[in-house]
Amino acid sequence: MSQNSIQPSGLVPDKRTKFLRALCTLSGVNAIYGIISGITTAISPPDVDDTFIVNLFEQLEKYELPIADLQDDVKEYYLNLMLDLGNFGAANFLFFAIQLIGIFMMYRLNRIGFTLYTVAQIGLAAAPIIFGSFNDFGKITFAITLVWNAIWVIMYATQIKYFHK
């Protein structure tokens, strides 16, 4: 007799795979870090004055980009992001909180958790372009983030067959 077949009456055998447990653990740690980071950024964004902007541009010019035409786009993107960092932090807090709820629900094998997680991943990919800039650099950042987040969504999608309504 296997261990799963011996269950007290009324209990369903645990259908969580080791892979789902690992995904939920890694994503949960990431979500908690994102929530803390989002709250701190929203509560105390940096003072963006002329000195801050000059230092930001000096730091950005230290690094040579593989596509030289993007230098102005990078400056615009990061300047806009720094000017609106408080709102960006608040948005990240919101999306990471939704992500954590989704992870918790998926860990409990609840299918709606997958939907919440997916929506949060789309929001986390879109937030930088909304608060940064919709220039070429912003679009590249959005695309890379969307691909990375899609990989995680696909990994969770492989576990949907174990979820219940």
Most confident of the ranges 15-24, 51-60, 65-74: 15-24
**What is the rounded average pLDDT of the residues 59-70?**
84
Tokens 């679009």, located at residue: 139
**What is the rounded average pLDDT of the residues 52-59?**
89
Answer with the residue of higher pLDDT: 8 or 65.
65
**What is the rounded average pLDDT of the residues 31-37?**
97
Calpha distance 151→50 (Å, rounded)? 40
pLDDT of residue 49: 86
Residue 63 has pLDDT above 90, yes or no: no
pLDDT of residue 13: 59
pLDDT of residue 50: 86
Residue 48 has pLDDT above 90, yes or no: no
Q: pLDDT-derived band of residue 12, with 50, 70 and 90 as boundaries?
A: low
pLDDT of residue 1: 46
DSSP assigned state of 17: -
Mean pLDDT of the chain: 89
pLDDT of residue 150: 97
**Among the listed residues 105, 122, 121, the one whose alpha carbon sits nearest the alpha carbon of residue 113:** 105
**Among the listed residues 145, 152, 138, 101, the one whose alpha carbon sits nearest the alpha carbon of residue 123:** 145
Residue 92 has pLDDT above 80, yes or no: yes
Instruction: Give CA torsion, residues 21, 27, 29, 31, to 10 deg.
Output: -140
Residue 44 Rama label (left phi>0; alpha psi -120 to 50; beta): beta
Calpha distance 155→133 (Å, rounded)? 30
**pTM, full prediction:** 0.84
